[in-house]
Amino acid sequence: MKYISVVVFLLISFVATAQQVPELKETDTSALIKASYIYNFAKNVDWNDPKYKTGNFVISIMGGSSLHKELVTKYNTKQIGSQQIEIRKLSKTLNISSCHVLYVGAEYCDILPDIAEALKNEPTLIVADKEGALDKGAALNFVIEEQRLKFELNMNSATKRNLFVGSTLKSLATKIQ
């Protein structure tokens, strides 16, 4: 009887552990890190346009479903300054409403020049995720260097959009153009 109890206990433990494994696999570490970066980008950039200093602080995500999920989970209840963060999910469209930060995932970077043109008069911080994105209108771009996620900065793009990039953000960028 004791032997059967031990086997049943081990079997229940195994089943319980096996059910927890998929939850671990569903965690997208890259999305978690990118969400943290985007939140900190927002904290280290100043929007000089007065209309961007009231209402919600809008972060729009084009692509990156896991990133959208992480931002909603971790940052939807936080604030940037006195503004409540609002996370929006966008489809592949050029009909982009006003937002403070726009993340353009790698799968949408083919339309990045059109996005940058559509937002040319808006103080929107465009963050991309594909090599060469700084040359296509992004102000910040995620890169992998030495097996670590880092970012590069296009100061010209940020300045044209009337965004003030803080010295902390500048010092952490792997490349500034």
At 97, which CATH number?
Answer: 3.40.50.2300
On whether residue 64 sits in a domain, the answer given is: yes
On whether residue 20 sits in a domain, the answer given is: no
The two three-digit tokens of residue 73, written as one number: 């989970």
On whether residue 62 sits in a domain, the answer given is: yes
Element holding 127 (H helix, E strand):
strand 125-128
Of 89-93, 116-120, 133-137, the one with minimum mean pLDDT is 89-93
Q: Could you tell me which residues come within 8 angstroms of residue 153 by beta carbon, excluding any fewer than 6 positions away?
A: 134, 139, 140, 165, 169, 170, 173, 175, 176, 177
DSSP 8-state class, residue 161 = T
| pTM given for the model | 0.83
The two three-digit tokens of residue 94, written as one number: 């050029």
| Strands (DSSP E) found in 16-56 | 45-47
The answer to whether residues 99 and 107 touch, using CB atoms and an 8 Å cutoff, is no
On whether residue 9 sits in a domain, the answer given is: no
Tally the domains of the chain. 1
On whether residue 2 sits in a domain, the answer given is: no
Instruction: Indicate if the pLDDT at residue 168 is higher than 60.
Output: yes
On whether residue 38 sits in a domain, the answer given is: yes
DSSP 8-state class, residue 123 = -
Instruction: Indicate if the pLDDT at residue 153 is higher than 90.
Output: yes
On whether residue 17 sits in a domain, the answer given is: no
Domain range enclosing 61: 28-172
Question: Please, which pLDDT band fits residue 64 given cuts at 50, 70 and 90?
Answer: confident
DSSP 8-state class, residue 176 = B
**Mean pLDDT value across residues 64-85:** 94
Computed over every residue of the chain, the mean pLDDT equals: 85
Give, to the nearest 10 degrees, the angle between helix 65-75 and helix 29-43: 60
What CA–CA distance (Å, rounded) separates 60 from 86?
A: 8
**Mean pLDDT value across residues 56-79:** 94
